[in-house]
Chain A
Amino acid sequence: MATKKYWKGLEELNNNPEFVQKANNEFAEQLPVEKFLGDKSLENDGTNRRDFLKFLGFSVTAASLAACETPVNKAIPYVVKPEEITPGVANWYASTYFDGNDYASIIVKTREGRPIKIEGNDLSGITKGGTNARVQASVLSLYDSSRLSAPMANGNLTTWATADKEIGNKLAAIAAKGGAIRILSSTIISPSTKAVIAEFTAKYPTTKLVTYDAVSFSGMAKANAQTFGQEVIPSYNFDKAEIIVGIGADFLANWLSPIETANQYAKTRKVGKNKKSMSRHYQFESILSLTGANADYREPVKVSEHGKVAVNLYNAVAKIVGGSSLSSSALACDATIAKAAKDLADHKGKSLVVSGSNDMYVQLVVNGINQMLDNYGKTIDIENPNYTRQGDDAAFAALVSEMAGGKVDALITYNTNPVYTAPAALKFAEAYNKVGLRISLADRADETAAMAHYICPDHNYLESWNDFNPKKAHYSLSQPTISPLFSTRQAQETLLKWSGNNSDYHSYIQKNWMERVFPMQGKYMGFNDFWNHSLHDGAIEVGKGGEMEMNGMADSVKAAPVAVKGDKKKEEPKEEAKSVAKVDLGEAAAKIAAVKGAGESAFELALYEKVGIGNGNQANNPWLQELPDPITKITWDNYVTMSPLDMEGKYDLMQRQDREASVVNVTVSGTTIKLPVVPQPGQARGTIGIAVGYGRDKAGNLSLRTGTVIGQNAYPFIQLMNGSMMYGALDAKVEDANEKVEMAGTQVHHTLMGRDIVKETVLSEYQKDAKAGNPDEMLVTHSGKVKMSEVDLWDSFDRPGHKWGMTIDLNSCIGCGSCVVSCTAENNVAVVGKTQVMKTREMHWLRIDRYYTTKWPNEGKKAKEKAHEDGVGAIDMYLDMENPEALNPKVVFQPMLCQHCNHAPCENVCPVLATNHSSDGLNQMTYNRCVGTRYCANNCPYKVRRFNWFNYNANPDFTFNPTQDDLGRMVLNPDVVVRSRGVMEKCSMCVQRIQGGKLDAKKAERKLKDGEIKTACQQSCPTNAIIFGDLNDEESAVAVLRKEDARNFYVLEEIGTKPALSYLTKVRNCEEAEFAAEHNEVKEGKESAL
């Protein structure tokens, strides 16, 4: 392991003198003294003694006058207190988050009627208590003051009565003349909403529903239609897979059902005393995605090669299991493909191949591979389809041409924003303007709604009733957790109203469930009992009885118009999935082979979704904008990622800490956008990556408050290929715009100066020795070598009650950032904005460090000796070693937060005792005592302390901070202080939750149960990588883990800080020697190919 080097960014690896100097500066910026002294007006005035006295007198008077403000606090109780509310006590409601993209069963914490926190719902059979960053941040989107406060007609606010009347008349007129009415929506998984649309269709029979997803799975559904006769997306059981192959599928962050998948995936990755095996993960992709970062074997491949990888994998598997092969061409990564194929064939029925391609042909080949491997019915469950992606690209394209032809008289858009998300080739905006009556149900005047005649704003999901059927047999409900903030109305009620049905949606859902869902289950006898339990639990699973009728309803998107009862039933898939006649894959292979990559002069473009911003529907959410991308660690922007090898000599390699990047113009079929280009190790050569979801000029007021539209919109680059949308382009021109901009990245801040902080090993080593990769830290003493854990300079402290501790499994952590947003929400962490992040002043209490690791080649060692002999400087030597490895580095994620050291270096340098230790092992930070010397941050070896530089709650430079908005303030957790400027902050181990949990136990007069108290980060982790508990309780999960798992290690144990946090070594399932050899070979092949 000693031959491995971890580096956070190229600049650290290069380690040039400027970087070292800056890294040594804990606070990169000088004090803003110059700003004051540099004030010209003061200089010119030549302030004399009299002026000074005047100023002094004035300020004393002003201060005394200001102090005269009556410090009277009012306490205003309810007039009639709602029965369920006790001021000061949180209420929890089960609900569901679904925005047409992410699905999560959640529980909502409300205080005095305000939702303040989203947590995962453990009772859900799908998301199993996990959330992701976007779900966590959605609570802030509720308090978005950019939402419409009332319906709008032609750009003016109006009343619901007027809007209803006018729209009713217009719709009636259109219906009377037989004009076409279309509803354009993102995926609807709500059975009741479907019923509402059916009712609407009954009233206006010319209505058709078209489903369109910004990020579409249409190609996959079509492939399944060919292979299995069902146009569905199956459920995947990653937890049953021992070999996982991903081809451009970012399934841990974005693809299909990431929260569910992450949970399943982590199950197969966990090792421990009783489980010494784990899954092996191969990933072929163009960008370095979160999923690729977690893979055991990763191969960068060009966008045009994704299909070819699938074909070659098909052939390689066929060769082993016996089957006809498809026409193919050789690829640089064939060796890895062959290895993957062997592993797959060895694990028939326990393997899984997934592809993120939206090309039907690629998916057909992938289906073929999975069929050969006998995976259907095991790791892939086509019998229980996933309904969350129903978008139909062809239907959408047809609708747009219909609109362009002026054949659509009315278009109602629901939960979709095609003006922003549609590919440029479709010219949606142009076609949209030709529609006679444009109605949007969006909650704000977004890009599409701004062009509509009427906007009838929908409630936020936290104000709504709704039901969901994300998967066959899985149902969940959402319920209002706050009264509507604005004069908005639930979209379903709006549609019902226009259909002439005045019932409220709540009773509508109940009625619907009584008729349809209730008969499917046998657990509860009475409907009320069933309803109340379902609502309480949030998510339910029903038996198979009566499933098909319901399924027909949920699955009838493609059969429009939708009719609730008269709907023709889907043909039941009688035959076993695997016995389906094999589709001829020859055509697919031919189509794939026909895909031509970019020439020498052009790049291939891969579009991707970022972990924070996703498809961009929450682009107005400052928490998500400030969440660093897990890989690039850049906030508040999108950019072009490019291999550093491709950038060399052309663009700024960003080797300085100030993060200056070259700006380029990217042009694809006539559309150009201007973005900075950042070097991305691991990016396939000849490709670039751009994230969608940025450049939303009408997302809301965040762009006004930050002064600029954040990033550029890359959706127009979507190409149409084989009838579906292709999230990439094969011919992208990149030209230097001869500009430079600064990027706000967090990665190189707080460098740990090459200390050994992450530990890893490979599975084979781990199986031999559980302490592999994690040798005990030894200290040489007068009595010989002693384990570091046994040496202590100081007396240990008594922890008579609890002793809190946390252990983070680096093997389970996928780096998704859910915990970071969760911590922000729980602890009222300020949003500091791009300029402050550039100055290393981000406030996140919990960060996820991303380390690239490359194996030093043997030549490296030799080079070191040679360098020594030749007198070549270390920097040059590092440079020599680094370049080829930038092709495909391995990645480790390490959540880094206050380690709550028992001998904390921060504590003994504080001159005012603002930070010290509590009797239950917490490093406590007392803000009201802190005077802001920042000695503690200087002395913290983990660099986890954050200094609060500005009054983010009032300073006009930070209006984007939620605390500066009357609505945004409602999201604050009343149990945690909102810090002001001049104090140091850091992770408190969610002490408010600890205190709350303890108090509950004390009140109930019982012992505290292990697992009862969960920190915010722990609760939101989809992979359960974080375990928190009482170390004094010998049976607690965390104590047992530390005792039994030899992977347990403390970061920087050698300096004797005795942290309360520990980590578990990361284990990779790859063969060390074999991999190294192959890797070098592949690399050589690639080099020559280039």
Chain B
Amino acid sequence: MDTLFKKPKKQIFAIFSFLFLSLILSTNNAFAADGEKIFKQNCAVCHSLGKNKLTGPGLEGVMTRVPGEKWLHDWIKNNKAMVAAGDAYAVKVFNENNKADMTVFAATLSDEDITAVISYIKNPPPPPGPTGATGATGGAVVAQEQGVNPLAVLIGVIAFLIVIVAVLRGVRHSLKNLQNEKMGLPEEEAVGPWTELKQWIGSHKRTTAVIVLIIIGGLLTSGWYGLKGIGVYADPDQKMEYHPEQPIAFSHKIHAGDNAINCQYCHSGVERSKTAGIPSVNVCMNCHKGISKGPNTGTAEIAKIYAAAGWDPDKGEYNKPERPIKWIKVHNLQDFVFFSHQQHVKVGKQECATCHGEVKEMTTVAQVKPLTMGWCIDCHRKTEVPGMKDNPYYESLHKRLAEKYKGQPITVDKMGGIDCVRCHY
């Protein structure tokens, strides 16, 4: 959490929305929380809670549209059967949505689950309300700020000043000559600005030295920050997080935050592989075949996905050459480090945010944790493995460790979690 406060201006909306969300969530009952989880895992990919249509229709006011809660229950359970049976409203919905079937959940969701989801849909959290809207605007503003290069502004100002100085010099020269003419003095020779500058430097050596030092210092500092901007690690205390500009301005905030798409929908390897995986373009296309427009820059960015996938949105077919997207890796570990996502997420039951921060709030993903060995080990020394007691794999180990460290928490390091060979081989 501490990192949130490091960028007060940028994160202020995030904090507000977070606090607001927490408030809402704390008042909701466990039932709805379950519903939320199920909704995010199963429904959010195609349905938004607002009015906007993703793959399927938006769910705002759905309870007023459908014939009844029982109908909705049956529909979620097996929509195909209802359409086949000729249910009037079912057929209508089917036709309205390009005759595309919804996933059948009869096997995956129990009746209680469906009830939970429906109660969650009936009583949705209000993020797409005022906070969300402000958040979105805020994001756009930030993006705009980022769009104006401060260096360009500086250069513009300097150029303007130079012009003014030149003009003033000319004016001064003419005035001086005019004055000289009046006073009958000989005309002052026109001296080039360069010669004059040299003369000035000659007579103001100390000042020049100071100015030169300032300029060199400025250049070095900006160079240093520039290097950090392209991937040289920066300490979070310096508030210089690595957040490279990506080839597509993909916003995790819109996808994982606003639309609450589960992280695993795109990063599907996280429980199966050592790498969480960057989604292939066909995963993007699952939704973006239908969604081709965004409110701000979205349309242009989505067009880049189409270009990568070779999709022709006008004809609705893949007829162009594929061009893989060259994402820039934000979270880099050295080659000699072996890190396994499945170990941490599936077995260790860690949240993505533990290492990646609140990606849901990030328009551009930034590395917020140092990802250094010290940081890893620090965590391993403090963390008790959740689920260790229940996992038969750890049974005898846990028993032995519990005897050895009576009463103390059994942290990862006590199980050999800081052995070199866990990560280096």
Contacts and interface: CB of A to CB of B under 8 A. Distances in A.
B12 interface: no
B190 to A, nearest CB: 42
A88 B269 contact: yes
A140 interface: no
A1003 B329 contact: no
A79 interface: yes
Interface in B320-359: 322-329, 332, 334-336, 338, 340, 342-343, 346-347
A1002 B328 contact: no
B392 interface: yes
Contacts of A991: 421, 425
A45 interface: no
A72 B244 contact: yes
A977 interface: yes
A835 interface: no
Contacts of B158: none
A977 B230 contact: no
Nearest to A919: B416
Interface residues of A, number: 46
A112 to B, nearest CB: 10
Interface in B401-425: 401, 404, 415-416, 419-422, 424-425
A176 interface: no
A912 B74 CA distance: 67
Given A999-B343, A1005-B391, A87 B419 contact: no
Contacts of B269: 86-89
Interface string A50-73: 000000000000000000101111
A788 interface: no
B86 interface: no
Given A68-B227, A926-B424, A999-B343, A77 B327 contact: yes
Given A87-B269, A916-B420, A992-B425, A1008 B278 contact: no
Nearest to B268: A86
Contact of B419 (A74, A80, A918): A918
Contacts of B283: 81
Contact of B281 (A80, A801, A998, A1003): A80
A73 B328 contact: yes
B282 A1005 contact: no
Given A88-B277, A919-B416, A78 B324 contact: yes
B332 A73 contact: yes
B338 A929 contact: no
B425 A976 contact: yes
A922 B282 contact: no
A1 B231 CA distance: 65
A999 B273 contact: no
Contacts of A68: 227
B280 interface: yes
Interface string A968-1006: 000000011100000000001001100100110111011
Nearest to B390: A1005
B393 interface: yes
Nearest to B282: A80
Given A68-B227, A70-B230, A89-B272, A75 B416 contact: no
A929 B230 contact: no
Nearest to A994: B421
B392 A1007 contact: yes
Contacts of A977: 335-336, 424-425
A648 interface: no
A1008 to B, nearest CB: 7
A73 B322 CA distance: 21
Q: Give the one of B283, B346, B425 with max A CB within 10 A.
A: B425
B325 A77 contact: yes
Contacts of B329: 72-75
| Chain A interface main SS type | loop
Interface string A1006-1027: 1110000000000000000000
B231 to A, nearest CB: 4
B412 to A, nearest CB: 11
Interface string B369-412: 00000000000000000000011111101001100100000000
Contacts of A798: 404
B231 A999 contact: no
A86 B280 CA distance: 11
A1053 interface: no
Contacts of A992: 338, 425
A78 B277 CA distance: 10
B425 A929 contact: no
Contacts of B335: 977
Contact of B415 (A80, A801, A916): A801
Nearest to A928: B336
B397 A77 contact: no
Contacts of B404: 798, 800
B324 A79 contact: yes
B215 interface: no
A75 B328 contact: yes
B4 interface: no
A926 B425 CA distance: 7
Interface string A429-458: 000000000000000000000000000000
A88 B280 contact: no
Nearest to A1003: B346
A673 to B, nearest CB: 45
A68 B227 CA distance: 8
Contacts of B393: 998, 1001-1002, 1005-1008
Interface in B263-306: 268-269, 271-275, 277-283
Contacts of A328: none
A71 B329 CA distance: 10
A453 to B, nearest CB: 37
Contact of A89 (B244, B273, B416): B273
Contacts of A525: none
A910 B35 CA distance: 57
A76 interface: yes
A72 B347 CA distance: 31
A531 interface: no
Residue from A87, A927, A1007 having most chain B Cβ neighbours under 10 A? A87
Given A79-B322, A927-B336, 9 more contacts: A68-B227, A72-B230, A73-B332, A919-B415, A926-B421, A995-B340, A999-B340, A999-B347, A1008-B393
23 contacts: A72-B328, A74-B326, A75-B327, A77-B279, A77-B324, A79-B309, A80-B280, A87-B273, A89-B274, A798-B404, A800-B397, A800-B401, A916-B420, A918-B420, A919-B416, A920-B419, A927-B424, A929-B420, A975-B338, A975-B425, A991-B421, A999-B340, A1003-B342
- Please name the 8 residue pairs, one residue from A and one from B, whose CB atoms are nearest each other, closest first: A919-B416, A88-B273, A924-B421, A81-B280, A918-B419, A78-B280, A73-B329, A88-B275
